[in-house]
Amino acid sequence: MSEIVIKTDKLTKRFGDFIAANEITFKVNKGEIFGFLGANGAGKTTAMRMLCGLSIPSSGQATIAGFDVYKQTEQIKKNIGYMSQKFSLYEDLTVLENINFFGGIYGLTDKELKTKSAQLIDQLGLQLQAKKLVASLPLGWKQKLSFSVAVLHEPKIVFLDEPTGGVDPVTRRQFWDLIYDAADRGVTIFVTTHYMDEAEYCNRISIMVDGVIKALDTPRNLKDTFHANNMDEVFYELARSAKRSE
């Protein structure tokens, strides 16, 4: 039995009368690539914020890396990494400064930072760009760097919110190579995406519709269940019945 790193039980968030996330229950294993899909407004961001310790649930239970989402939000934040398309790096700091800044925030010592930043720059082939402003990097490079920074402190789980939006098809695939490598090292990946081919790269996926998890399984099983040829068709089948949008 593999270790469970995310566990939720009827996790719910209400905003007034509006139930953004409605009794969502699921488990994610260590080292798993878990795709968290849903239409705009289905409640993905709300759910993700609760899992990251940024928003206190209205009811239900959840533990992240063994820590409780009500009482241990600070421990959760230390044990996870996070990146999104919207928030990633500081544009007016250099590559090296960004690595040091985020590494420092995540609690790495100066000594660790020195070796880790050198390793990272080497691994990404950014030797020539290390002292350049992040603003001067192409988007794809920023996203790869941003991911690497989010896992620099070797978190148990990394949350990725549409990490590949707008990225070219080659860089998108290089990005997924980084995800696979991290998963091989035992980092659990929790990722949202609007690219249905990327859903196929996940070990398991959940599809949220109007605040509820409508389906959760491996891509293979979901396609069988819905008699679909690809994930696009599965998604369409489930999400077209959605009543609310954002």
Partner 1 sequence: MEAVNVKNLVKIYGKDKTAVDDISFSVNQGEIFGLIGPDGAGKTSIFRVLTTLLLPDGGSATVDGFDVVKDYKQIRSRVGYMPGKFSLYQDLSVEENLNFFATIFNTTIAENYHLIKDIYVQLEPFKNRRAGQLSGGMKQKLALCCALIHKPVVLFLDEPTTGVDPVSRKEFWEILQQLKEQNITIVVSTPYMDEANRCDRIAMIQSGQLLSVDTPANIIKSYPEQLYAIKANNMHALLKILHEYNQVKSSYAFGEFAHISFKEPKFNPDQAVTYLETKGLQDIELIKTEVTIEDCFIKLL
Joined tokens for residue 161: 């919110």
Place of tokens 């996790």: 11
Report helix, strand and coil shares of the chain as percent, to nearest 5: 35, 25, 35
Of 108, 138, 145, residue with least CA distance to 124: 145
Binder among 128, 170, 227, 243 for partner 1 (CB under 8 A) = 170
Q: Which residue of 138, 185, 224, 225 would you call a contact of partner 1, by CB under 8 A?
A: 138
Burial of 94: CB neighbours in 10 Å, binned 0-12, 13-18, 19+: middle
Residue 17 contacts partner 1 per CB under 8 A:
no
Helices 95-105 & 110-124 angle (0-180, nearest 10): 140
Is residue 173 involved in binding partner 1 (CB under 8 A)? yes
Instruction: Give phi and psi for 217, each to the nearest 5.
Output: -175, -175
CB of 155 vs partner 1, minimal distance in Å: 20
Tell me the three state secondary structure of residue 183. helix
CB-CB contact of 5 with 28 (8 Å): yes
Selected from 23, 68, 154, 200, the binder of partner 1 by CB under 8 A is 200
Site for partner 1 in 54-113 (CB under 8 A): 85
From CA 30, how far away is CA 2, in angstroms rounded?
7
Instruction: Please select the residue that binds partner 1; options are 40, 109, 119, 221, rule is CB under 8 A.
Output: 40
Q: Is 235 near partner 1 (CB under 8 A)?
A: yes
CB of 218 to partner 1, least distance (A): 11
Binder to partner 1 among 2, 15, 87, 246 (CB under 8 A)? Answer: 246
Q: Does residue number 169 form part of the binding site for partner 1 (CB under 8 A)? A: yes
The residue within the footprint of partner 1, chosen from 18, 70, 90, 236 (CB under 8 A), is 236
Q: Which two tokens stand for residue 110?
A: 């100066």
Among positions 14, 61, 112, 176, the unique one binding partner 1 when judged by CB under 8 A: 176
- Residue type present at position 128: L
Q: Is 186 in the site for partner 1 (CB under 8 A)?
A: no
Among 3, 122, 168, 224, binds partner 1 (CB under 8 A): 168
Minimum Å gap between C-beta 239 and partner 1 is: 5
For 87-117, the DSSP string reads S---TTSBHHHHHHHHHHHTT--HHHHHHHH
Interface residue list for partner 1 (CB under 8 A): 38-41, 85, 138-140, 162, 165-171, 173, 176-177, 180, 184, 194-197, 200-201, 219, 230-232, 235-236, 239-240, 242, 244-246
